[in-house]
Chain A
């Protein structure tokens, strides 16, 4: 490649990333789903004609980003090339072929330049409802969790599949919002396609072959250099988590070879009867995320960077088989990075952060007037985060989502969506694990139904019985707890009731500490006391 050609390719790579940013931005601005619009729970990417991911929007959460990379192959396998036309959009929410549960809708659109199929755009978002039992862990099988949409056409040659919309409308709550989101997803792929064609016309390329090859070969080379720098061998780790009604053990062995890293999940507990099972595609997404954070945080996510990571597992709770219930697969999915990072910490001592709250403390609230009273019914979803584990040279971040990439929503916006009052949402003192570097603090949230109302809530919490562990001598983060304000203890998973006049009290866990507490500086301890991160009473 001559010098000028080299530079043109580099510049086009940047441009391609900008194309997918525009794609993601369109989705962010038009989505109805709270998790997308307020919390950034979405993903968007561009693929070559073989279905290899070339670029993805930095906006996005790992559970979507990395699953989508693999999901595309299922679309290519199931929709024959001769049935693909310009203006098509394909859809699925199959948990095993998409992103792990029915609430996520994945849409793929072929991109044609004239008659030539040059690639695909794909995007994923969590919609507010898919029917069934609603978002929660209580389903006995995926059939109870909502409507299943197999890989199929949402639109053919620009013509939307009216039958699909009719069936959807009959099966979901909040049909307007859900169907609105289907349109948003399709529209964002259209934007990506339009920008790509503009770019190709501008630079005078017929397709993505040359640029794709440049991107993938460059990335592959960089990944190989990174893996060459890693120690070779295998390291194991295991971890207890809450489960639904009994604790569940997760286990992993990470093997670093000269050109790949393989995670094997043998030893992990069997599937659960409850909707906390995780399809392998989602497990893989978070396993790859953890590996990438340590091995190659600065290398862009694409088919070549993901190709060096392999995840294998017998059937178990992290490789659930159809028709297992999987609705809240994110809870254990979010624990996978801590599991993998624990193994990597043995390979790379002193370089890997401690365990943290990991799973988001999301709560879905279904609020209604008390019997015989006037009022409003509403579905309210809140995202909350506990503390992140301490880093090798820094305290953990307090009340910050990790590994998930989502945001919380303003309380003022949440209270407009339904008749609830959030009386407290603030840092939880004394919850960060002690250490040379302290774990991040969790948070305390108190939620009550508005006067004359009561609510059911879907609990999707973890680290209530198994605390985040510290690293290299650091202490444990505080356990989470789920209670009412009168002291009634609630379960960490499943739908439960909060009567009028009571408050639900959530205490999200803190992160584990890093290093020997005796080495924590006096200045840091003083600051902890002055700021009230650590209190003398230690409550």
Chain B
């Protein structure tokens, strides 16, 4: 069945709201309901009831439900998972506690490192050892495992994780240990060679621990959800969106729930990728800014960039190294503590700082007048005239500009000799610069140039800041789609069935073992296709990527390989491909050192039918706005009389010259003076740099 012929429902459980989007043969119905923490499925059922009534259909007409959730992430952050036993190699009890033996802040003597997911008393070791080449150095102590099973049975454990050294090279010991545990115990057992068969023990062990830790809770939840959906009358399958941006069956999700971590933000990236495709935009940077954070993702050839690991639950202001690593394929996003609620302050050098501390929704920014006294980004936006105090959230919340000014003067202005508006400008420009810096560095890390991209901005706060961010990044075009508030849930509807299987196999390129490589790739492909086949009858496509480096380096770069069997004769082709990628990342290839493979990935996905196509309209017909008010122009550093236009009053093809503010219920789009805005045929707004096409 193709998109557009069926009825699909997307459900995204977020921290505050659960978003439900129903796509009835191309027509969207959506709602936001408050997330119900005690029984998260309740919000979904409530939301479904609302949208099917809007659409005038019954539950049994839904053809497919696609679900994404932050529940797994939250369980890790809030440490609400099952008591889990880790069984690991003798001599390595403390891998997840010793981490990288480093401090995430060089100068702060009082940092607190996050507690390991599994405390030391619940980590057990057994003798048995594989070598780096995967040969058995020491036999597994099965008697000790039998005894350990009894010891675990006597306590209140809810899950078991098994992680042995070098199991990514040879998983025999882990599998045998699982057999023994399953013989004696009725507990779910996760093994690291299945959850994350990648080299680097800290990351792999932590990943298998995280999987085991959230597994009972996620299995319960998914079971309840399916039962209640059936009770409600649905007859369709339920699929889960995973962190890599594809769909998997509920059964797979229940077995590998760590793959659900970060699935909500992945929906946002797919949403942006889908828009990129509909406009034929090859290079895109998506920018999602909400209440507490901003997320930035690179999208090339309509595919969000992926990585093989990421860090969750950062404890200290999003500082790198203050969270825990999870090694699974993931849509790669940088997240910085900059959202509408981020608090502004002044440091010892009289420098303005913005975030990562957030005012959240309670008490919220000072202008909400709900008891917040410290200035937040939203206060700065208000003081610069970017928001209309009488028309925020469709007039539901009246913003108190006086409270915003008081907070801004007291906590920022007074310390710098700035008035409230200049201080607000400082706060906005600092937060925009921080986001620009993060985006720039992220692009560099990936060998890309950020200014070559079109930006796609969504989330409540993004349209307020996107134009200024584009100025700083040298980006000439930015699309602001409709329904940006429920972007992730819409993204779910657009997600392909997809699964990425990854495994480490370290070998030199020179004289590589082609037969061994073909066997590994065919295993990975069978695994990945198996997951995809569970959800689709259509054609399955494949991408193969080798992660390679010069022998001696520690960082691998992704090298796409053709999907076919390899022979020894392919050495030169692969070497050329590696060197070309290396040069793209780092300027020039190096002559001399040997090249090696470290990890391979096979991504399988079904072919998505093309959606509606649109052509980017960069010119449009200028219209003459009728309403104006003074708004601070960040590019010029002064207030200017600025056109105020309701988004609902605009029609495709309309062009409004900046400076302007396009207002709508959920947010406002700020068009700074270097930009104009052109309404597109799908209703989205295109910020386009002046002089680009006229």
B100 neighbours in A (Cβ, 8 Å): 407-408
A299 neighbours in B (Cβ, 8 Å): 348-349
Q: Is the CB of A407 within 8 A of B102?
A: yes
Q: How large is the interface on A (under 10, 10 to 19, 20 to 34, 35 or more residues)?
A: 35 or more
Enumerate A22-77 residues with CB–CB distance to B below 8 Å: 22, 25-26, 28-32, 34, 37-38, 40, 58, 60, 62
Contact of B593 among A6, A177, A225 (CB under 8 A): A177
List 11 additional A-B contacts (Cβ < 8 Å) besides A218-B351, A298-B347, A424-B90. A11-B429, A32-B552, A174-B552, A401-B101, A405-B103, A407-B102, A408-B98, A410-B203, A412-B165, A412-B168, A427-B120
A421 neighbours in B (Cβ, 8 Å): 129, 131, 137
Q: Is the CB of B131 within 8 A of A450?
A: yes
How far, in angstroms, from A531 to B120 measured CA to CA in the complex?
A: 5
How far, in angstroms, from A450 to B137 measured CA to CA in the complex?
A: 10
Q: Is the CB of A187 within 8 A of B586?
A: yes
Q: Is A297 an interface residue (CB 8 A)?
A: yes
Q: Is the CB of B101 within 8 A of A383?
A: yes
Q: Is the CB of B553 within 8 A of A32?
A: yes
How far, in angstroms, from A426 to B53 measured CA to CA in the complex?
A: 59
Main SS at interface, chain B = loop
How far, in angstroms, from A28 to B553 measured CA to CA in the complex?
A: 10
Known: A7-B429, A415-B132. A398 touches B97 (CB 8 A): yes
Q: Is A406 an interface residue (CB 8 A)?
A: yes
Nearest chain B residue, comparing its CB with the CB of A5:
B637
Distance from A65 Cβ to chain B, minimum over Cβ atoms (Å): 9
Known: A407-B100, A446-B91. A183 touches B590 (CB 8 A): yes
Contact of A297 among B98, B108, B425, B444 (CB under 8 A): B108
Distance from A89 Cβ to chain B, minimum over Cβ atoms (Å): 14
Give the interface segment out of A12-20, A243-251, A453-461, A474-482.
A12-20
Q: Is A170 an interface residue (CB 8 A)?
A: no
Known: A6-B416, A15-B433, A22-B444. A393 touches B110 (CB 8 A): yes
Q: Is the CB of A3 within 8 A of B441?
A: no
Distance from B550 Cβ to chain A, minimum over Cβ atoms (Å): 7
Known: A30-B586, A297-B108, A450-B131. A25 touches B102 (CB 8 A): no
Known: A18-B440, A222-B348, A533-B120. A399 touches B101 (CB 8 A): yes
How far, in angstroms, from A520 to B599 measured CA to CA in the complex?
A: 48
Q: Is the CB of A10 within 8 A of B351?
A: yes
Q: Is the CB of A11 within 8 A of B102?
A: no
Sample of 17 A–B contacts (CB below 8 Å): A4-B638, A10-B351, A13-B351, A25-B441, A32-B550, A218-B349, A218-B350, A218-B351, A299-B348, A400-B101, A401-B101, A406-B102, A416-B132, A416-B199, A443-B98, A446-B91, A533-B120
Residues of B with Cβ closer than 8 Å to A? 90-95, 97-98, 100-103, 106-113, 119-121, 129, 131-132, 137, 165-166, 168, 199-203, 347-352, 416-419, 422, 425-426, 429-430, 433-434, 437, 440-441, 444-445, 474, 506, 550, 552-555, 585-588, 590, 592-593, 637-638
A292 neighbours in B (Cβ, 8 Å): 107
How far, in angstroms, from A424 to B433 measured CA to CA in the complex?
A: 46
Q: Is the CB of B166 within 8 A of A14?
A: no
Q: Is the CB of B553 within 8 A of A30?
A: yes
Q: Is the CB of B553 within 8 A of A353?
A: no
Minimum-distance CB pairs A-B, first 4:
A37-B554, A424-B91, A18-B437, A297-B107
Q: Is the CB of B550 within 8 A of A293?
A: no
Distance from B551 Cβ to chain A, minimum over Cβ atoms (Å): 9
Nearest chain A residue, comparing its CB with the CB of B107:
A297
How far, in angstroms, from A446 to B90 measured CA to CA in the complex?
A: 12
A394 neighbours in B (Cβ, 8 Å): 110, 112
A401 neighbours in B (Cβ, 8 Å): 101-103
Q: Is the CB of B437 within 8 A of A180?
A: no
Distance from A94 Cβ to chain B, minimum over Cβ atoms (Å): 25
Q: Is the CB of B429 within 8 A of A391?
A: no
How far, in angstroms, from A183 to B95 measured CA to CA in the complex?
A: 35
Q: Is A532 an interface residue (CB 8 A)?
A: yes
Distance from A211 Cβ to chain B, minimum over Cβ atoms (Å): 13
Q: Is the CB of B593 within 8 A of A425?
A: no
How far, in angstroms, from A58 to B132 measured CA to CA in the complex?
A: 34
Contact of A4 among B202, B347, B434, B637 (CB under 8 A): B637
B107 neighbours in A (Cβ, 8 Å): 292-293, 297-298
Q: Is the CB of B200 within 8 A of A405?
A: no
How far, in angstroms, from A400 to B112 measured CA to CA in the complex?
A: 12
Contact of A187 among B418, B587, B592 (CB under 8 A): B587
B165 neighbours in A (Cβ, 8 Å): 411-412
Q: Is the CB of A426 within 8 A of B101?
A: no
Q: Is the CB of A190 within 8 A of B587?
A: yes
A427 neighbours in B (Cβ, 8 Å): 93-94, 97-98, 120
Q: Is the CB of A14 within 8 A of B434?
A: yes
Q: Is the CB of B444 within 8 A of A426?
A: no
Contact of B110 among A219, A383, A391 (CB under 8 A): A391
Q: Is the CB of A26 within 8 A of B132?
A: no
Distance from A486 Cβ to chain B, minimum over Cβ atoms (Å): 18
Nearest chain A residue, comparing its CB with the CB of B438:
A18
B110 neighbours in A (Cβ, 8 Å): 391, 393-394
How far, in angstroms, from A419 to B406 measured CA to CA in the complex?
A: 66
Q: Is A385 an interface residue (CB 8 A)?
A: yes
Q: Is A423 an interface residue (CB 8 A)?
A: yes
Q: Is the CB of B101 within 8 A of A4?
A: no
Q: Is A530 an interface residue (CB 8 A)?
A: yes
How far, in angstroms, from A145 to B148 measured CA to CA in the complex?
A: 52
Distance from A301 Cβ to chain B, minimum over Cβ atoms (Å): 8
Q: Is the CB of A177 within 8 A of B352?
A: no
How far, in angstroms, from A163 to B93 measured CA to CA in the complex?
A: 51
Nearest chain B residue, comparing its CB with the CB of A351:
B109
